[in-house]
Structure 1
Amino acid sequence: MLNRLNLKPKTLNLFNLIRYKNLLVIVLTQLLVKYAVLEPFGVNTSLDIFSISLLILSTVCIAAAGNIINDIYDVETDTINKPSKVIIGRHISEKAAFNLFIALNLVGVCIGFYISHLVGKSAFFSVFVIISALLYVYASYLKRLFLIGNIVISILVALSLLIIGLFDLLPGITPENQHIQLSVFKIIFYYAAFAFIINLIREMVKDIEDIKGDSKSGMHTLPIIIGTTKAKRVVFALIIITIITISYYVIHLLYKNLIASGYFLLFIIGPLIYISIKSLSASTKQHFHHISTVLKLVMVFGLLSLLLYKYILLK
């Protein structure tokens, strides 16, 4: 997409370094939570257009910084796993990348400080500091540990949804509106849980895909510790659990509406059944890359289902 805009190679490399596609998904997700769930429900919110834009900007800056530091620490493994996509040291110097990492973190955290005071919850500022710190620790250490890195990064993905409810919904809770405010927050929590499990599965699949480079770099990912065959079984089991959970959700909450039920069956449950089958027979790097791509699409379509909020029964 960026190539069609005739951007200079250095600009293209910068966009790829910060993983602009993933950042766009974050922006879309947070806008959906705000304008497809919170606003239509008429709940008491704390952020106007300007302040929600700042919150999204803060999230994007910190996420972009996390992507940069991750690439800095992944140069060795990426040289083996995906040599054509290595940017640090080839197109952008490590020093320049690290300086950009610091700058983006400062901008993101400072905006977070402002927003925290704006909603009257100064303690919420710690959320931005914790996320920023975790992204650095993840890239430099946690991602090398058995499952810990996968779980931490998946929690951070879930937080990209929860942070909207935290700053826009919770500050406006009163004894009178507590029920509706918490009911809507429950919807956000369900979607955050969905994002967590799909991302966790995808991280495991990517670990299987990158096992060659990871093992040479001394990492202790799931497939390295228990082997590729057992790792595939873990992925399969998690996908089946996810399918059962989402099916239960559809049967009990959406069964009365054919459009909502059909959407979940066609764009979420169906693809998950497909990759559950593919996960058992996958054997090459290309196979696992395909599964990872489908999981990303499932994530996007799952988040887009927020547009079906009016078909979700609040309890």
Structure 2
Amino acid sequence: MSKSLYYRFSQFVGFLLGARVSVALLLTFALYVSTFFLFNQDETFRKFVFDFKVHGIIFCTVLTILAGGIINQFYDLEKDHIVKPFRTRIQSFIKQKYFLYAYLALSVISLGVAWMISHRVFAFFVVYQFFMWLYSHKLSRILIVNNLTFVSLTLYPFFGMMVYYERFSKKVLLMAIFLFLILLCIDIVKDTLTKSVDKAFGYITIPNYFKSRNTNIIIISLLVVTMAVSMKLILRTGISGFMAYYFASGLLMMIFCIYLLLNSSRKSKFLTLNILRFWVFVGIIAMLLNGLEGKL
């Protein structure tokens, strides 16, 4: 591979990492699955495929998430040099000004498409993009607010779809609470692994404000509440199929995570983080399989 080709390839990979493309792809997949199988159960697949308004909203969401990833890495650059040295090394092949140009372009295109869909959709994404920027610029450094804002921004597009389809029910509400709690646990556990770096750069997180023991109590308490929500979903909402198996087996998964957290080692926290992340992905697959089973 020539030096020029290697440099171009490194720039491309650097941009993908800076924009958090893998996160955007996962959220896109989750949005399509939840939209068709949870929020939009009455519409046929053919009608859904040709519902360009929905595709437009998801397209705007993807662009906004990519833009959010770029602006977040711009503000977290110094911290990422220590926490994610490989990624920042790859990203160094692109000047920061080009990341900002990409951020502006993605934001403008997203808002332009949103405007063509409707004024309400445009307002929805203006709010989304503003809080994406505000989180990266200010809110990520404020105790508790950082975790709550991050999780809320992750779930914001799903809330938009729920409002769009006017799909309000006890089951949907409990599933939203379950996902909120899981993502909150993931974010706090992640902060325990970057505790000293966060403190050095002025990020006031739960792990570097409270003692390690208190942080573990908070995470374990959240997992216990999540287990209670899972049991309510199984017993009170009539949930069935793969989703019922998912929430039932999730009880064992969370008990195992609690056991790991009691160990308090860095390795156990890293393992807990990846188990919880994997479980979110398993939930998306379970919803897909459950939906396909219902449609057939």
TM-score norm. by structure 2 comes to: 0.86
Q: Give the equivalent residue in structure 1 for 2:247.
A: 264
1:282 alignment partner AA: S
Q: Is the 8 A contact 2:30 2:284 kept in 1?
A: yes
1:265 alignment partner AA: A
The whole-number CA distance in structure 1 between the counterparts of 2:89 and 2:132 is: 19
Q: 4+ runs of 1 displaced by more than 6 Å?
A: none
Q: Give the equivalent residue in structure 1 for 2:13.
A: 12
Q: Is the 8 A contact 2:24 2:62 kept in 1?
A: yes
TM-score norm. by structure 1 comes to: 0.81
Distance 1:182 1:216, change over 3 A: closer
Q: CA deviation at 1:309?
A: 5.2
Whether 1:241 and 2:225 are equivalent positions in the alignment is: yes
1:273 alignment partner AA: I
Q: Is the 8 A contact 1:33 1:306 kept in 2?
A: yes
**Aligned residue pairs: how many?**
285
The whole-number CA distance in structure 1 between the counterparts of 2:208 and 2:18 is: 27
The whole-number CA distance in structure 2 between the counterparts of 1:78 and 1:151 is: 21
Q: CA deviation at 1:49?
A: 3.5
The whole-number CA distance in structure 1 between the counterparts of 2:124 and 2:40 is: 24
1:52 alignment partner AA: V
Q: Is the 8 A contact 1:205 1:288 kept in 2?
A: yes
Q: CA deviation at 1:227?
A: 2.0
The whole-number CA distance in structure 2 between the counterparts of 1:311 and 1:152 is: 35
Distance 1:86 1:33, change over 3 A: same
Kindly report which structure 2 residues correspond to 1:102-141, keeping only aligned pairs within 5 A, or say none: 102-115=104-117, 117=118, 122-141=119-138
Kindly report which structure 2 residues correspond to 1:1-315, keeping only aligned pairs within 5 A, or say none: 8-42=9-43, 48-86=50-88, 90-115=92-117, 117=118, 122-167=119-164, 169-170=165-166, 181-183=167-169, 187-254=171-238, 257=240, 259-266=242-249, 268-284=250-266, 286-307=267-288, 308=290
Q: Is the 8 A contact 1:159 1:192 kept in 2?
A: no
Q: Percent identity, aligned pairs only?
A: 20
Distance 1:39 1:148, change over 3 A: closer
The whole-number CA distance in structure 1 between the counterparts of 2:34 and 2:177 is: 14
Q: Give the equivalent residue in structure 2 for 1:3.
A: none
Q: Give the equivalent residue in structure 2 for 1:176.
A: none
2:210 alignment partner AA: I
The whole-number CA distance in structure 2 between the counterparts of 1:139 and 1:86 is: 17
Q: CA deviation at 1:190?
A: 3.6
Q: Is the 8 A contact 1:158 1:196 kept in 2?
A: yes
Q: CA deviation at 1:87?
A: 5.0
Q: CA deviation at 1:270?
A: 2.5
Q: Is the 8 A contact 2:63 2:110 kept in 1?
A: yes
Q: Is the 8 A contact 2:15 2:91 kept in 1?
A: no
Deviates more, 1:57-66 or 1:220-229: 220-229
Root mean square deviation, CA, Å: 2.7
The whole-number CA distance in structure 2 between the counterparts of 1:13 and 1:304 is: 29
Q: CA deviation at 1:46?
A: 9.2
The whole-number CA distance in structure 1 between the counterparts of 2:49 and 2:129 is: 22
Deviates more, 1:221-230 or 1:295-304: 295-304
Distance 1:261 1:166, change over 3 A: closer
Q: Is the 8 A contact 1:279 1:291 kept in 2?
A: yes
Q: What are structure 1's unaligned runs of at least 5 residues? A: 1-5, 171-180
The whole-number CA distance in structure 1 between the counterparts of 2:90 and 2:104 is: 16
